[in-house]
Each structure stands twice: as C-alpha cells, then as structure tokens.
Amino acid sequence: MKPVLELKNVTKEYPGALALDGMNLKVYPGEVHALMGENGAGKSTLIKVVSGAIKANAGSIVFDGNSYDSMTPALSKKLGIGVVYQEFNLVPELSVAENVFLGQKLTKGFFINRKLMNEEAKKLMDEFGIDVDVTEEVKNLTVAYQQLVEIAKTISSDVKVLVMDEPSAPLTNREIDALFGIVRRLKEKGTAVIYISHRMEEIFALADRVTVMRDGKYVGTEPISEITQDELIKMMVGRSLDEQFPVVEKEIGEVVLEVRGLCTEALLKDISFKVHKGEILGLAGLVGAGRTETARAIFGADPKSAGKIIVHGKEKNITCPRVAIAEGIAYIPEDRKKHGALLGMSIRENISFIAIKDISRLGFVSRKEDAAMSDRYIKDLSIKTPTKEQLTKNLSGGNQQKVVLAKSLASHSDIIIFDEPTRGIDVGAKKEIYVLMNELAARGMAIIMISSEMPELLGMSDRVLVMHEGEITGELTREEATQERILGLASGIR
C-alpha cells in the first residue's frame, strides 16, 4: 500500500529557531497514526505546514503520489486534508448545522435550504454517535460538545487525511468514548487519521503506529503493538523518566486553611475540609462534581451562599480574588490560556502583574526590582525562554503553566490551588511540574490539587477528597487511595 501522505525532509526555520529539521513522515489510508513529542517538539508547526497555514523552507509534501513544494489552505482542503485544531474555529451565534456546513453549498435557488442542511447535519451526527440538537446555537453548547461539532464540521467534507490536535482535552469520559467511535468509523471508511495527544492511554487504545518528534527532528516510527509506554517516553524525552511522581521528604504541619459548610446556590452542599502546611490535598470527582466550583468559591471568584473560610486560624470574608490573594491564596486555573496567563504580555509583565505594588516606589515601578523578580522566578522554575521579554503566548504549555505559577508565588501565596495542573502538557514537562509542586510543599506551602488523571491523584496526593454532585463523599489517605475506591466514591457509592 502506498502512503496517502508523505513528508520528505521538511524544514521550517524562524529567526533564531529551527522549528522543523528535515522532518519525515508516512501516513497510510485507514490507519490511526499517532504523532507524539514534548511541547516545542515541532508538532504544531508540522500541522501548519501540512494544512498550508505556513510554508516550509525546504522539503516536499507528497499527497496521493503527487509532490508539492508547499501547501496552501485552499489546496490542502481541495486534496482532502482536514485539521481539527485545539482552538475552535466556530461561529458562536450560528447553529450547529450552520457551522458544520459553513462555506458549503446547500441552497434552494438563491436561498439556503435550511431543512436540507438540518437533515444532513442530523444524519452526520447520528452516523458518528454525537447526541446534539443541530438547531442549537453553538455558543449554548458546552466546550466538550463544541469540540465534537468542530470535528463534525471538518469531516463533513470528504477528507482523506484528518489531523486531530489534542481532540480529547476538553472532553469527559463519555464524550471521549464518542470521539473514539468517530476515529474508528473514519478508519473503517479508509480515512487516515493523524492523532496528536499527550495521553498515553489514548495512543495505546487507538493508534496503529506512532511517530515521535524531538526538537523539530524525526526520532522514529514504531507499530504501537511493538513498543511499551516506557520506551515511548524515552523516545520523546531522550531519557528515561523513572519515578514519574518523585516523593520528597517533607513535614506536614498545622492547619492553614479550613473550609466549613461551604455552599453555593447552584451546586455545592456543606463542603468541609482542612488543608495542612506542607500537604498536597487531591480533589477527585467526575466532571460536574463541583471540584472547580469549590476552588472558585474559596478564591472568591464565585459567590458562596453559606459557609466559612478560615485562613491561619482566622475567619476571612473572601468576597473576590483580590481579597483571596491578599490572604495568601493563589488559584492556578484549569484553562491557563483563558484565565491564567496574560498571553499578549511578556513573561516579566506576567510575573510582576499581581505583585506590582511590592516593586513600586511613590507610584513608579522599579525597573531594577521588576527585572530581578522575573529573573529569579525564571531561574527557580526553569522557565525555558530566550529572554524575559518573550511573549507568554509563544511559550510551550508547560512553560506557560510555570509563568502562571510564578505570578502566584510572586504574590507571596502560601496556599495554592492547582486546577488540572498538567492538562495539555507533555510527559517531560509534567514531571517538572510535579517536582515543583513537591518542592513547594517541602517549603511548607499548602496545596490543593484538582485532577482528572488517576495516576496523578494517586502519585501526588497525601490525602484525597472525593466529590459527587456537589458533596464530599469520602476522604482517603495515601495508603487507602486506590483507583477503585476513588471511582466508587466519585460515582456516589459511599
């Protein structure tokens, strides 16, 4: 069988950086081909070259036996290459059906045939097992369903090669099953799928072969049946990652945060728990259980209807995030791009954003102290950047997460809430984040960690609280916590 898509020695150079260095790739019809590598390995650049979003400096792209020096978006679409990016490309005010067929001809005379459009959209959704009202405006859908609509939109035209960039990131377990069904149906139809994900379990469940990139270079391609997870990680990072969850010696001290009877109008019911100095408290539960809502209520981002928040033994009236920050509470949100990092600002500006008063004299910012602060945290957190003036949006996911953490540390926080701390981060950067969290705990900081990744919860938490439908259903020590017990409590089984 001949490959439907082949990249030959593709190179892409930016000023001062070689994003792709002689990259090679072969993808065959009807296969799920995983593409893996650490953040910054060049995966996104490769996608953009294939889709025509950017032009390579050298090399060629062979599609269905025809060679092209470069692609354009129009040519890529005409040939049958579809891309589902991490950032959605939907029109919020249009319906699901209108988004799916945007730019395609479904007319009756001079007018759009809305009945036909809705029927075809419904047929497509049914074919791929997506349960959604096609007449609903996209802005009213959850992020997970918007992702499924984005996929449906891409495959509504007859694609031969579908590139999926972290498609499962916003999905719940149920929706991930729907995603897997879509991928398998496409495979049965002979469509080639290039699947990019940091989640190892997905790669081993779906992929036929896996290609690994590192520093813009081709490392190798292996059948998924002939490689182990440890071997794949070693290919990605160039080294073995023993002790993925490193344990450090630390002393768990007095209670620094106590939550009593916390309630919200919408969901939370009588949430009570304590967090100790030097402790990592895991917060587990299924999507919608109330974990993020608990964090936001503690941080003052959402109003509470009842309950007390006690910091260092004193009750505090935390009415907004500014008050929480002043009391030493930091919140690293789940969506770092939307709610955490100031992407259009430099690393330096992000780090000093909250602590601006500390480095100001008579209303003027001390440039010397500003620079020293950013230099210190860039060094302490090993933020990989050529300069502190680098825009945060140009950093990898792991380094963006470190910038958000640096911003919180600069505000002298000693209670840090991490909401999905390693979502969308590669395995190498994950370990760096885990090491940082352990170091912070060893320094005496109290950490609450919300995570949907079971290995992360079991590997990092000193205790685990489990939530179900706005209530705490159980508390487990590190020794008591198992996947089965956590899942049982998360399902409401006490």
Q: What is the pLDDT of residues 213-271, one digit of tens each?
A: 988 899 999 999 999 988 887 888 775 555 677 777 788 999 999 999 999 998 999 99
The answer, as to whether pTM is greater than 0.75, is no
Which CATH number is 255-490 given?
3.40.50.300
Residue 401: the pLDDT is 80
Nearest CA among 370, 367, 436 for reference residue 399 = 436
Are 71 and 56 within 8 A, CB to CB?
no
Contact at 8 Å (CB) between 449 and 280? yes
AA identity, residue 26: K
Confirm whether 5-237 and 255-490 share one CATH topology: yes
What does CATH list as the number for 5-237? 3.40.50.300
Q: Give me the sheet containing 17-27, strands edge to edge.
A: 17-27, 5-14, 58-63, 66-68
- Quote the distance between the C-alpha of residue 440 and its chain's center: 22
How far out from the chain centre does Cα 395 lie? Answer: 14
Which DSSP string corresponds to 424-483?
T--HHHHHHHHHHHHHHHHTT-EEEEE-S-HHHHHHH-SEEEEEETTEEEEEEETTT--H
Q: What is the CA radius of gyration of the chain?
A: 24
Alpha carbons 200 and 2: distance in angstroms, whole number: 28
Per-residue pLDDT of the chain (494 residues; tens, 9 = 90+): 899 999 999 999 877 678 899 999 999 999 999 998 876 788 888 999 999 999 999 999 999 999 998 899 999 989 999 998 877 778 888 899 988 888 776 666 667 778 888 888 898 888 877 888 999 998 888 777 888 888 888 888 789 999 998 888 767 667 788 888 889 989 999 999 999 987 888 899 999 999 999 888 999 999 999 999 888 878 887 755 556 777 777 889 999 999 999 999 989 999 999 999 999 999 998 777 899 999 999 999 999 999 999 999 999 999 999 899 889 998 988 776 677 777 888 888 888 887 777 777 777 878 888 888 888 888 877 888 888 888 888 887 778 888 888 887 777 789 999 988 887 676 777 888 888 889 889 989 999 999 988 888 988 999 999 999 899 999 999 999 988 888 889 877 76
Is residue 397 within 8 A of residue 421, CB to CB? The reply is no
Angle between helices 427-442 and 397-410 (to 10 degrees): 20
Does residue 150 sit in helix, strand or coil?
Answer: helix
Distance (Å, whole) CA 213 – CA 33? 13
Residue-range domain boundaries for the chain:
5-237, 255-490
Decide if 241 contacts 431 (C-beta within 8 A): yes
State the pLDDT at residue 316.
95
